[in-house]
Structure 1
């Protein structure tokens, strides 16, 4: 009987560790980053503060990410616009 415990316990522990690794990897993608919360609290708009108060950090961060994404898209659009070169009068 003790022989079964010698073989079974390490196998059970190994499967438990593999299972917990999968759980941890999924939670890592869902988890909120500390610097993102800090940036939200420093640069929050009124609608984001209301969402934070009424719905929690998840909804407030969602609104903040949407706003930040739109701002980045606008900045990229401005950067892609061609520059106008003024010809210099030559000698």
Structure 2
């Protein structure tokens, strides 16, 4: 019985580590980059700060990206931020 335990535990840990690596790689693409947050904090306008306070970093960065796109985003209108 002990032999099976000695063999099974390292295998379970190894498979868990492999699965978590895949999860981490997917989350890395979805997560907000540190440089992007730094740019936001340096260049944010009042409406983007209100969005950060009311709706979180995702919505605030969305407004920030739309503003930075400038003329290219003329067709895209940001949603109204509710107070």
After superposition, the CA RMSD in angstroms is: 1.9
Contiguous gaps of at least 5 residues in structure 1: 75-91
Normalising by structure 1, what TM-score?
0.68
1:26 aligns with 2:47: no
TM-score between both structures, scaled by the size of structure 2: 0.74
1:3 aligned partner:
3
Aligned length: 73
Larger radius of gyration: 1
Q: What residue is the counterpart of 1:39 in the other structure?
A: 39
Equivalent in the alignment of 1:50: 50
